Chains A and B, each alone.
Chain A
Amino acid sequence: MDITFLKIAALFYLLAGVSFVLYIFFQRDTVSKLSPIILACGFTAHTAALGIHFFQTGYPNVTQFREALSFYSWVMVAGYLVVHFKYRLSVLGSIIAPLAFLMTLAAFAFGTGSEALPPELKSYWLPVHVTVAFLGNAAFALAFGVSLIYLLAERQLKHKKMTLLIKRFPSLETLDRLNYVFLVWGFPLMTLGIVTGSMWAAIHWGSYWSWDPRQISSGIAWLFYGALLHGRTTGLRGRKAALLTTFGFCVVIGYFLWGDAIFPSRHGGRFD
């Protein structure tokens, strides 16, 4: 049942992605109004899928890698929809919607059905830790999206070669401000994710910090984003900030995808 809804959500995300991309090339008002609605439909189906799973099993389905992917894209889409109502960033939608499609697709393409929850994960910490951690990551994903757009727009302005694309972009000032806003939201959430994670670790593994690869990598990412945020408050902006945001996100998402294969961890949500 939840898988059916997940498939519906993926389909809507795909349609929304196509619609957002179409809007960039053929600026039709109807398309620009339609795309966020399609995306919201996908989000509703996705919410239903997650909700059904939660009520059937009593815990959020984030314990396996593919489930985590799906949850991640759900949070990201939610974040985008909130931002969209304020800034009408269809261009960002054209990055977020296809990304959400790929992630939900992966969530059921790698197998379906849940195994029994390992006993060490049965805890109230699970929903709290996972939600804040993914909210933080979703904010970073959005920051990554606006940074990409910034880099593209900035390049065209510098090289004095304007394509039709740039007309659809928000101004550099707006893009740069959004990058900052997403970092400001993402960093505290990430911090909370690490704090709740280590408290949970203290209960189940017996210590707050055990130099587990996942803990080390999170720590490094935290330091990186912290430095970036500090830089932003002291005059780091524009292209350099966008480049660093892009780099940081690529490393984090890369670790999320392949890190556990290289450095086995006790952390749940493994890709296996």
Chain B
Amino acid sequence: MQKEILIVGLNHRSAPIEVRESVAFEISYLREALARLRAYPAIQEGVILSTCNRVEVVAAAADGRSAAAEIKKFLDEQGARRHAGQLDEHVYAYHGAEAVRHVFRVAASLDSMVVGEPQILGQLKDYYGAAQEAGTVGAILHRLFHRAFAVAKRVRTETGIASRAVSVSSVAVDLARRIFDRFDDKTVMLIGAGKMGGLMARHLQSNGARSLMVTNRTFERAVELAGSIHGSPILFEDFPRYLKIADLVIGCTGAQEVLIDAGAVGAILKERKHKPMFFIDIGERRNFDAEINKLDNAYLYNIDDLQAVAEENLQERSSEAEKAETIVLEEVENFTRWIHSLEQVPTITALRRRFEEIRRKEIERSLGGSLKDLSERQREALDDMTTAMINKLLHDPISQLKNNPREEDEEGILYAAALKKLFGLEGK
């Protein structure tokens, strides 16, 4: 019996966060949930996927329609425990090639809230692993998920979908990476204890920055922030003195006047033997003199510059996403071809069996009659000869059935039907 792949669930587009939360499956209760899922009669294989942006059930079933109804019921039950109310309007269902495409898109992070975010693949692997442990994965879903992981990898390497930073602080880190090879031997100076600056400092730390100075007009706030991000607080009056040991300088004060002018930076650079400096100005007004960017070995990016790069990257991502969609479509085609080739398997075995039956019967008849004087060796030769004949006769039709390309699927189905009728394979 042919199995169909289907996916039923809700995601960040179809349902608000409260609804998604109420239906979510914690990974620790997954085994139990999977057991409940398997108890439904129409569902033969199943994987539950539950992240903050989606709750979905992927299944393989002989009867897709009733399986979809059962999954809806399953989700309703899950929601009812937390009084989610009616889910119907939020739930979507895809069948066959559409379902395959959906799974591939999810894996490739094309269905994510932030397209190209890298976490989803790991989550998918975790939930697939849990289903595998619970024994709810069969041949079809096994193949589907492994293909999905491969598609995600292909999309990642062949398109730039995940390679571009789209937030201001990740853009800043990205730019810093183009100037500096590593951060662990660099010193960061944070001027102003604002939220944005703290965020950027943390981002730099997670990329390896170790040495960090924090200064603020109100020293207490500098001390406070320095404490939370393992930096050293310095007095606001003192920061120009420390500037010469800073490689990255982040300005995020609300100061009205320019805090660092180009002339001072020029002198500092000389003192530093022109070791490069990167100034990031994210203050409410400009904290750093724009002329700094004209100095050799000094680079200055302000908030507008960073936002412009982020915007550009975002556009780049969406154009890369188009490329990714093409890859997904290609892979869906390959996958459906595989599914269809499974469909042909019963026809092929029936055909072989039929031919073999005829051969045996005819050999028996001949050996009992006109050929009964044949020696043992001759009988063997006759057997070999007829087997070879049948194999040769069947070779072309079978390979035709096995690898008919996608465009000729209709044809493939027609051929199978014709064979069944011509050779009386039906009902045998």
Contact = CB atoms under 8 A, between A and B. Distances in A.
Interface stretch (A152-160, A220-228, A251-259, A264-272): A152-160
B309 A171 contact: no
A27 to B, nearest CB: 8
A153 B178 contact: yes
A153 B177 CA distance: 12
Interface string B177-190: 11111100000000
A240 interface: yes
Interface stretch (B297-305, B345-353, B385-393): B297-305
Interface in B161-195: 163, 175, 177-182
Contacts of B293: 158
Contacts of B118: none
A253 B274 CA distance: 29
Nearest to B182: A173
A111 interface: no
Interface in A164-178: 164, 166-167, 169-174, 177
Contact of B299 (A157, A164, A236, A237): A157
| Residue from A164, A171, A239 with most neighbouring chain B CB atoms (10 Å) | A171
Given A28-B157, A160-B309, A240-B296, A173 B179 contact: yes
Contact of B273 (A170, A173, A235, A239): A235
Interface in B30-66: none
Contacts of B77: none
B181 A174 contact: yes
A56 interface: no
B274 A236 contact: yes
Interface residues of A, number: 25
B157 A160 contact: no
Contact of A239 (B158, B179, B297, B301): B297
B308 interface: yes
B138 interface: no
A239 B293 CA distance: 13
Contacts of A240: 296
Contacts of B182: 173
A58 to B, nearest CB: 47
Interface string B128-165: 00000000000000000000000000000110100100
A29 B178 contact: no
Interface string A163-194: 01011011111100100000000000000000
Contacts of B178: 153, 157, 166, 169, 171-172
B276 interface: yes
A83 B309 CA distance: 32
Interface string A220-248: 00000000000000111111100000000
Contacts of A158: 293, 299
Interface in A93-132: none
B179 A238 contact: no
Nearest to A240: B296
Contacts of B276: 172-173, 238
Contacts of B180: 171-173
**Residue of A153, A167, A234 with most chain B CB atoms under a 10 A cut-off:** A167
A162 interface: yes
B297 A237 contact: yes
Contacts of A153: 178
A171 B177 contact: yes
A170 B299 contact: no
A173 B297 contact: no
Nearest to B176: A171
A29 B309 contact: no
B309 A238 contact: no
A28 B157 CA distance: 7
B179 A237 contact: no
Contacts of B275: 237
A237 B276 CA distance: 9
A53 to B, nearest CB: 42
A238 B273 CA distance: 11
Given A27-B160, A164-B160, A171-B179, 18 more contacts: A27-B157, A153-B178, A158-B299, A160-B305, A160-B308, A162-B309, A170-B181, A171-B178, A172-B180, A172-B276, A173-B180, A174-B181, A177-B181, A235-B270, A238-B274, A238-B276, A238-B296, A239-B296
Interface of A: 27-29, 153, 157-158, 160, 162, 164, 166-167, 169-174, 177, 234-240
14 contacts: A153-B178, A157-B299, A160-B301, A160-B308, A160-B309, A167-B163, A171-B178, A172-B179, A172-B276, A173-B179, A177-B181, A235-B273, A238-B274, A238-B296
